[in-house]
Amino acid sequence: MICVQKKYKKGGSRPTVLSMFSGCGGMDLGFHLAGFDVIWANDSNKDCAMTYRENFTSLTGEDVFVEGNIRDIKKPDFVKKNQLDVLLGGFPCQAYSNAGQRNGLNDERGRLYEYCLSYIEHFKPSFTVFENVRGFLSIRGKQKKLFEEISDSLISLKYEVHLALVNAADYGVPQNRLRVVMVGKRKDILNSYFFPEKKAGLDLRLNKILDVPPGTENQSDIIKLNPQAYKIGALVPEGGSWKSIPYNKLPKRLKYIRDNIRRYRWPNFYRRFSREEIAGTITAAFKPENAGVWHPIKKRTFTAREIARIQSFPDNFVFRARTVKGIYQMIGNAVPPLLAKAFGESIMACIKGVARAAPTTQYSRNYPNEPIRPGAPQIVFT
């Protein structure tokens, strides 16, 4: 497990990061570990604000977090144009996610990326980083796909844009989590940029991360489900799902789905991953109907600390919220720190001029007609 070290104060010699829609700080922690100074961060969620301040004030030497709606707060005046190294824009994913209604630009949250573009135009950082769910790739913008329109906007601001669909597990996160990552590099930065290399030989099985020592922060925090969910979950064997339960023990609604399983596209409710498997995607909703929330062998769901480990947070990163549900939500919404660290390191390599070449696909207008697959070469928009 990674460990947070108290190391620096703002104003040092390390490259700087401004963070928008920071959540509890997963992306920011990754960039800190990669050698960057976070000098300003913002989110409107009160639980995230508590957690961010508790962890990052000791890292930065001061409180860099500004709580409030991005529409209502002022841009930091101490950050000067062309002097910022990286702008992180983790704009909310709910409007794009397959777990939600996918209302795209019809959802107010689906237009918050516009504030990221406004900040980029104002500060002209050397690099920008956006991270979002896979469903972001298929959301329509005003005239074409939204990721195309955002890329066009960055190009008009004199950035080249690198995009790929990545699996966080390829970068040391013990979880199969597919995410879209967009990195913009200002065109006057002459060093080449490439996405980080995948890490080989990693053992990310659940049995390597569930040995949480007694007394570890947030290990006693466990979300409560309805009684029927526990009843069904208890019938699922290690490595199985609701399909492993005898038909006569299923509740009426699941019998109906089983009887019409082709119509429902073979859903995999109540997944209980084996100790020998990599965990599935941790979600903010943390519902057994759409995520593997059950401990492999115990008659309970994962604790908050266990899902934090699955998200690659270190044990000394603590979570504070008004409710246990709030803790689960912020962890599920977070960018895994080790995923962010890998991209932070790739940008640091570009800054230092030591980036290693990687396969790329030059963007063409025909490319969006083909699916963007995990592990495919990064697409470069120029």
How many Å apart are CA 265 and CA 235, to the nearest integer? 22
Q: At what angle do helices 46-60 and 324-333 cross, to 10 degrees?
A: 70
As given in the structure block, the two tokens for residue 377 are 């070469």
Provide CB contacts within 8 A for 365, sequence distance 6+. Answer: none
Provide CB contacts within 8 A for 88, sequence distance 6+. Answer: 17, 18, 19, 20, 22, 27, 28, 31, 128, 129
Among residues 71, 110, 93, 55, the alpha carbon closest in space to that of 329 is found at 93
Among residues 147, 95, 200, the alpha carbon closest in space to that of 372 is found at 147
Helix (H), strand (E) at residue 324: helix 324-333
How many Å apart are CA 331 and CA 348, to the nearest integer? 26
As given in the structure block, the two tokens for residue 170 are 């390829």
Q: Cβ-count burial of 199 within 10 angstroms (0-12 exposed, 13-18 middle, 19+ buried)?
A: middle
Q: How many residues does the chain have?
A: 382
Provide CB contacts within 8 A for 363, sequence distance 6+. Answer: 151, 379, 380, 381, 382
The catalytically annotated residue of 3, 24, 48, 93 is 93
Concerning whether 3 is annotated as a catalytic residue, the answer is: no
Torsion over CA: 213, 214, 218, 224 (sign): positive
Describe the strand order of the beta sheet including 127-133 as a list of residue ranges. 65-67, 37-43, 16-20, 86-89, 127-133, 178-186, 159-167, 378-381, 360-362
Helix (H), strand (E) at residue 66: strand 65-67
Active site residues: 93
